[in-house]
Amino acid sequence: MSRITILVSGAAAMIVMPAIANAQGMGKITGNEFNPAISLILDGRYTDIDNETLELPGFQLGGEAGLPEKGFATGHNELVISANVDDKFYAQLSTAIVQEDGATEMEMEEAFVETLGLGHGLSVRGGRFYSGIGYLNAIHLHAHDFADRPLVYEAMLGGRLSDTGLQLRWIAPTTHYLKLGAEVTTGSEFPGGENEDNNNGLALFAKTGGDISVSASWQLGASYYSTEFAKREAGGHQHGGGNATVDNELLNGEVDIAGIDFVYKWAPKGNYREKNFKLQAEYFVRDEKGRSQFSEDGSSAEADYTGEQQGFYLQGVYQFMPAWRVGLRYDWLEADNTITNFVNGGITLDEYLEESGLGSEAKDPERYSMMIDYSPSHYSRLRLQYSELDNGHEQNDMLMLQYIMSLGAHGAHKY
């Protein structure tokens, strides 16, 4: 979705300079270092969609995975407060203001403290944060090039991976860009689940890149995530008019995810304001296993489950003149799931595979998307997007008109 970002300054008559990275790319320094910078991002859209339920056979969905509401709706409105605590620490709070089922809710997305000036290319972050795995995961939604997230993020990460713990980053002191990172987190967020120790999440990531010429640059990344859990809740298909009581759980589970990402950027002689092109791709493979239990209105079934899944997306976005861009994206998923030791408690194997989400279709899910957007400034955007999703047994078309507006202190976006 395209989003219009509105950023509002913290004090009535105070202009807060955009946050920027320090010389080593760690921490943020503002023009008024100890005065909180406040930003508000507004997102609204109109969506014409065949089916609002996201079904990806072979994948148990969780977290934020899903499709937008039909008709007029507010989207992912975001309030961010950030500032230097002192000369040693920087802090940031990001909250999403969303409307669900007629009620307005505020959800905490990030709340972390980060070190400043450790030296030697080191930085430590503690609290709740977006994981550094992949390319898009740590980029806020309003800065995405399409109105919705790639299918591989929805299917494998529940939209995005956000958790609480510690993150360590190191930037090598070389002319060739190299960043290494590691995270230890609770492991309780999807694709993980409840665990006794609350410290089972482990993530590793690496980024490297450089300039090809004065007009082009590239970045290549690799990442890995692992966790174990006692129980993970997942969605399931509801029958009987949606009034059925459904429980869909994976017990004593293990998840391993590995991925690679690549980004190429081009702008004539480095002048991105007139024309530019961005090619972006990510590929993930996920191995998971556990004891699957499904129940619906007193009937149940359970089985040992092993899943081998993969997916990728490839997209290109071209700014053909100032303020105007067009983009194309292709998504593809594949699930190879194995079910053994099935126990029938009133639900047949075929019913269990369909309703638990673990049964895969003969055809792999894929989606084609195209968009055009207009951004008269860095702080506003209008977007029109069309998508066609084929999940293997039905087609789901979506047409969306979206705005994103930004007011207040707005730091530079990531590469």
If you search the block for the tokens 């309003």, which residue do you land on? 142
**CATH number of the domain to which 217 belongs:** 2.40.160.10
If you search the block for the tokens 């957007």, which residue do you land on? 373
Domain assignment present for 319: yes
Please give the span between the terminal C-alpha atoms of the chain, in angstroms, as a whole number: 20
pLDDT at 415: 86
pLDDT at 245: 79
Domain assignment present for 414: no
Number of domains observed in the structure of the chain = 1
- State how far the Cα of 12 lies from the Cα of 10, in Å rounded to an integer: 7
Contact in structure between 409 and 37 (CB atoms under 8 Å): yes
Provide the pLDDT confidence category of residue 401 given band limits of 50, 70 and 90.
Answer: very high
Domain assignment present for 34: yes
pLDDT at 157: 97
Residue 266 domain boundaries: 4-408
Q: What is the mean pLDDT of residues 53-77?
A: 93
Domain assignment present for 415: no
Please write the tens of the pLDDT for every residue from 256-312.
999 999 999 999 988 888 999 999 999 999 999 999 999 988 899 999 999 999 999
- State how far the Cα of 43 lies from the Cα of 102, in Å rounded to an integer: 17
Domain assignment present for 218: yes
- State how far the Cα of 175 lies from the Cα of 214, in Å rounded to an integer: 16
Percentage of the chain modeled with pLDDT above 90: 77
Mean pLDDT (the chain) is: 89
Domain assignment present for 413: no
